[in-house]
Amino acid sequence: MDETVASIVVPAELDACTIVTLSLAIKRAVDDPSIQVLVFHGADGIFCRGMSLGGLVSSEMIGDPTEGVRAFARCLEVLRLAEKPTIAVVDGDALGGGLGIAAACDVVLATLDAAFGLPELLLGLLPAIVLPVLLERMPAQQARLLALRAESVSAERARDLGLADEVVPADDLLRIVRRWVRALSRPDPGAVAGLKRYSAELSGLGVTAGLSRGAGLTAERLADRALRETIRDFVAGGAPPWLAR
């Protein structure tokens, strides 16, 4: 990549610290006049597996479970409304919040090793924060089925659903990313920023209100002490009781 591209590593798991780090990286890249395109990628064969379950129910979250999820909603808003083109390169798992990060980008490139999924319902949570950006890419019914099935789909299926824009052979990934960077660097930066803001305003409830509502719903679920205990048991190697039925 050249100096006009910001290469941003997405954390494998999201917690209060990594969300702040990601948000700051996005802001720095957007504010840097030399940067034209932001490219997001994972590491070690993982794009991002979403929120850290242990972090969600750790002792410091019991009193106020809203801080982390609201920070993630703000991060998604910053990403979705970033005033420069954004590309997600998904090579490996993009689950839950990780899928939301990919969907919030303007272009999603997926390798054949990519997997997309919403596992939240398995733990009694809702994919409420990511749904606003998912529904900009895919039909509502397909989004519900993706959540209800709680199974990952392949890169090809993700492309059919609208979650991926192109499926790319791993050995050709760099060339394809460069091609997209060249294409996305051509439009006027001011027009790019205006398009992204305007398209968000046209999305029914709107990304900002939708993300805020999604964070509220997630926070409400995390306020349930029994649900937090269930997640703690899962992190420790157990299984949610409804999965045993």
For position 164, which CATH number holds? 3.90.226.10
pLDDT confidence of residue 16: 86
Give the chain's domain count.
Answer: 1
Per the domain annotation, does 212 fall within a domain? Answer: yes
Per the domain annotation, does 176 fall within a domain? Answer: no
Per the domain annotation, does 181 fall within a domain? Answer: no
Cβ-proximal residues to 226 (8 Å cutoff; 6+ apart), any chain: none
Sheet holding 153-154, edge to edge: 46-48, 93-95, 115-117, 153-154
List own/partner pairs for 20-24 with CB under 8 A and 24 or more apart. 20/71, 22/75, 23/71, 23/74, 23/75, 23/78
Whether residue 11 contacts residue 48, with contact meaning beta carbons closer than 8 Å, is answered with yes
Whether residue 118 contacts residue 127, with contact meaning beta carbons closer than 8 Å, is answered with yes
**Residue 204 Rama label (left phi>0; alpha psi -120 to 50; beta):** left
CA–CA separation, 226 and 14 (whole Å): 22
pLDDT confidence of residue 203: 67
Note down the domain range covering 204: 5-170+189-237
DSSP one-letter code for 43: B
Q: Please give the structure tokens belonging to residue 65.
A: 């479970």
Per the domain annotation, does 183 fall within a domain? Answer: no
Per the domain annotation, does 179 fall within a domain? Answer: no
Model confidence pTM above 0.85:
yes
- φ, ψ for residue 18 (rounded to 5)? -70, -30
pLDDT confidence of residue 65: 59
Per the domain annotation, does 35 fall within a domain? Answer: yes
pLDDT in tens, the chain (245 residues): 788 999 999 999 998 899 999 999 999 999 999 999 999 999 999 999 999 887 776 655 445 656 788 999 999 999 999 999 999 999 999 999 999 999 999 999 999 999 999 999 999 999 999 999 999 999 999 999 999 999 999 999 999 999 999 999 999 999 999 999 999 999 989 899 989 988 888 766 677 888 888 898 888 888 888 888 888 888 888 877 766 65
Helices marked H in 122-188: 131-134, 140-149, 155-161, 173-184
